[in-house]
Amino acid sequence: MQDDEILGYWAERIRAATAEERPLRIRGSGTKDWYGQALNGEILDTRAYRGIVSYDPAELVMTARCGTPLTEVEAALAEHNQMLAFEPPHFGRSATLGGCIAAGIAGPRRSSAGAPRDFVLGVTMMDGRGETLRFGGQVVKNVAGYDVSRLMAGSLGTLGLMLDVSIKVLPLPVAETTLKFDMNGTDAVRKLNEWCGRPLPITASAWRNGTLAVRLSGAENGVKTARNTIGGEVVDAVEAERFWAGLREQTDPFFATIPPRSALWRLALPSVTEPLQLPGAQLMEWGGSQRWWITDTDAQTVRISAKQAGGHATIFRAGREFDRSAGVFTPLPAPIMRIHRGLKAAFDPARIFNRGRLYADF
């Protein structure tokens, strides 16, 4: 099918589904089907609509269709020594750009570069009426007023069908070095907060099992100076790449086994929060602000612990016997939920898109 035929077919399906209040499940390759709550409705497969629409390395902007494989996007950027700075995880070789933005998940570089939403400049989407809408543009100065395009990042397809997205890209660092230190979790949190408060080119950090790893990226002289300033043992480049990729894709041994009655929780906490004294394995990233925790502790206890520390908790993955009835995502305060419902009603009045994926009644 030609592009116009694909869009026409999708519009017809959406209008029919809206008329019948029948749910549609927007889906690329399904590498993130496990993320979020219910998977409801007939699959609307986005992979037929693919390809890089435009790419201007000089302007650091790329526009690509939703079904474009993430590997294709990254390969095109690599030819010009550029990258998606938020280091999106793939969770599978067939991951698509649309799925990457819809999930809104970032990798190890998040604390220094930003989240996916920070790089979205513009979006073309199809709403629940089958109408094509365009928001934002291809340069930062076009993004004025209420930034609707960035709402698509992390929405898990609940607002509409993303057709294409314009994203800001960045140059690859000239130099990169990973250092490791032997220290306990409390000392790691304190050191990371000390270092991150100084002009050091730290682009990733992770602590687990008594070892802190820190990645430095940037100009040769800047990386060399920072390495001499903070010390530590230099990690072999191949081993370092394998380590950071393992964290990004969750192929690292820490994530290998989630017992049937346990869950992998992602806690977002103030970076100064010391390691929580709770049962289960813990791993810290992003300068201490992201904590991974594998535990069979009930959801209410986990969320109370996170709230008391000034953050919130999300069930990232769960064992087959874990009770998800408390919801994957932390319930929103009533005023914020009213805003979410208003946006949902504006874009998807019949609630056909990815029904229940974010919240059970959303």
Tell me the domain boundaries of the chain.
3-171+343-347, 175-253, 257-318
Q: Quick one: pLDDT at residue 361? A: 79
Q: Quick one: pLDDT at residue 140? A: 52
pLDDT higher than threshold 80 for residue 137: no
Q: Quick one: pLDDT at residue 141? A: 52
Mean pLDDT, the chain, rounded, equals 94
Reported as a single tens digit per residue, the pLDDT across 189-224 is 999 999 999 999 999 999 999 999 999 999 999 999
Partners of 55 in the β-ladder: 62
The CATH architecture to which 175-253 belongs is 2-Layer Sandwich (3.30)
How far is it, in rounded angstroms, from Cα 153 to Cα 156?
A: 8
Q: Which residue has the tokens 């805003």?
A: 339
Q: Quick one: pLDDT at residue 100? A: 97
Q: Quick one: pLDDT at residue 148? A: 83
Q: Which residue has the tokens 């005023």?
A: 335
Reported as a single tens digit per residue, the pLDDT across 174-184 is 999 999 999 99
From residue 66, alpha-carbon distances to 74, 111, 164, 247, 301 in Å are 14, 26, 5, 25, 38
Q: Quick one: pLDDT at residue 70? A: 98
Quickly state the pLDDT bin for 27 (edges 50, 70, 90): very high
276: which DSSP letter?
Answer: P
Q: Quick one: pLDDT at residue 119? A: 97
| Residue 191 neighbours by CB distance under 10 Å | 18
Quickly state the pLDDT bin for 139 (edges 50, 70, 90): low
The answer to whether domain 3-171+343-347 and domain 175-253 are alike in fold is no
Q: Quick one: pLDDT at residue 299? A: 92
Q: Quick one: pLDDT at residue 138? A: 63
Q: Which residue has the tokens 């994203």?
A: 167
Quickly state the pLDDT bin for 65 (edges 50, 70, 90): very high
pLDDT higher than threshold 60 for residue 188: yes
Reported as a single tens digit per residue, the pLDDT across 66-100 is 999 999 999 999 999 999 999 999 999 999 999 99
DSSP states of 50-84 as a string? Answer: --EEEEETTTTEEEEETTSBHHHHHHHHHTTTEE-
- Mean pLDDT for the stretch of residues 11-25: 97
How far is it, in rounded angstroms, from Cα 219 to Cα 172?
A: 10
Reported as a single tens digit per residue, the pLDDT across 309-358 is 999 999 999 999 998 888 999 999 999 999 999 999 999 999 999 999 99
Reported as a single tens digit per residue, the pLDDT across 256-302 is 989 999 999 999 999 999 988 888 899 999 999 999 999 999 999 99
pLDDT higher than threshold 60 for residue 143: no
pLDDT higher than threshold 80 for residue 3: yes
**Yes or no: is domain 257-318 CATH 3.30.70?**
yes
Contact in structure between 289 and 306 (CB atoms under 8 Å): no
3-171+343-347 CATH: 3.30.465.10
Q: Quick one: pLDDT at residue 279? A: 87
pLDDT over 90 for what percent of the chain?
A: 89
Residue 210 CB burial class (10 angstroms; 0-12, 13-18, ≥19): exposed
From residue 234, alpha-carbon distances to 23, 178, 214, 237 in Å are 52, 6, 10, 9
Greatest pairwise CA separation for the chain in angstroms: 65
273: which DSSP letter?
Answer: P
DSSP states of 163-203 as a string? Answer: EEEEEE-EEPPSEEEEEEEE--HHHHHHHHHHHHTSS--EE
Of 288, 108, 292, 115, residue with least CA distance to 203: 108
Contact in structure between 31 and 95 (CB atoms under 8 Å): yes
Q: Which residue has the tokens 């072999």?
A: 236
